[in-house]
A and B are shown apart, each in its own frame.
Chain A
Amino acid sequence: MDKPTDGAPPAPPEKQEYSATVTVNDPQGLHLRTSKDVVRVASQYQAEITAQNLSRSSGQVDVKSILQLMQLQARQGHVLLLQAVGPDAADALAALCALFQRPRSPISAGAGS
Chain B
Amino acid sequence: MIGLVFVSHSRLIADGLCQLADQMAGGEVKMAPAGGLGDDIHVLGTDATLILAAIESVWSEDGVLLLVDMGSAVMSAEMALDFLPDEKRRLCLISNAPLVEGAIVAALHAGMGDSLHDTNLAAEDALNARKVVRMAEYVKCEM
Interface residues of B, dominant DSSP: helix
A73 to B131 alpha-carbon distance, docked (Å): 9
Contact A32 B129, CB 8 Å, known A40-B108, A65-B122: no
Asked if B125 is an interface residue, CB under 8 A from chain A, the answer is yes
Asked if B55 is an interface residue, CB under 8 A from chain A, the answer is no
**A residues contacting the other copy or chain, number (CB 8 A):** 13
B125 touches A70 (CB 8 A): no
> B residues touching A (Cβ–Cβ < 8 Å)?
23-24, 101, 104-105, 108, 111-112, 122, 125-126, 129-133
List of 4 A-B pairs having minimum Cβ-Cβ separation, nearest first: A67-B129, A36-B24, A36-B108, A67-B126
Known A-B contacts: A36-B23, A70-B129. Give 15 more (CB < 8 A): A32-B24, A33-B24, A36-B24, A39-B108, A39-B112, A40-B108, A40-B111, A40-B112, A43-B112, A65-B122, A67-B105, A70-B131, A71-B130, A71-B131, A73-B132
